[in-house]
Structures are given as structure tokens and as C-alpha cells.
Amino acid sequence: MDTRDLSLAAEAALSRRRFLGVVWDRQTLDAFLADPLGTVPVTFMTYAGIEDPEERAQLLAFLEVATRSEECRAAERRASGSGGPERPEAIP
């Protein structure tokens, strides 16, 4: 691993830690959608953001409805280890 690879790995680790410390609710997600780099300064997931508050509100409303689906709740249970259908075995 050369120094550039180490630098990228350190930056990725810092980005993960910053995301782990964020409580993702409607307010923080709205802030991230409006100003991604202002909300999480060191991240590889960059884009210009959504300036229009109405457009962000529509996206947030869609996400609220979409996350109520049974598929989403089952995936959340599997990810948290709190039950739900068994995960399929990894394909080699």
C-alpha cells in the first residue's frame, strides 16, 4: 500500500466515523440533502445537494412512506439482528 492508498483509507475511515455519529432523523437528513458537505464534511458520497426546500420535503415524504413497507421493515430487522426471515447464505 503506498501513501496515497493509506491516505484514502484514512479518509474513508474518518468519513465512516462521522456518519456513525449522526442521528439520521428528518431534520438531519434534510440538512444533509440541502448541504451534504456542510453536514458531513469528509465524505466520498458527495453531490451538490437539493436547494429547493419543497423538493427536499417531497423527497423526505416519499422516504417516510417507502420505509413503512414490509420489505423495508424486514430488512431493518435483519440488519439489526432482531429477527425476521433468515438471510440467504452468501453466494461464493
What is the number of H-type helices and E-type strands within the chain? 5, 0
Domain 3-73: CATH class, spelled out: mainly alpha
Residue ranges of the domains in the chain? 3-73
pLDDT digits (tens, 9 = 90+) for 19-71: 667 777 899 899 989 998 888 777 666 678 999 999 999 999 998 888 888 88
**pLDDT confidence of residue 92:** 38
**pLDDT confidence of residue 19:** 62
DSSP letters along 46-77, please? -------HHHHHHHHHHHHHHTTSHHHHHHHH
**pLDDT confidence of residue 34:** 93
- pTM beyond 0.85: no
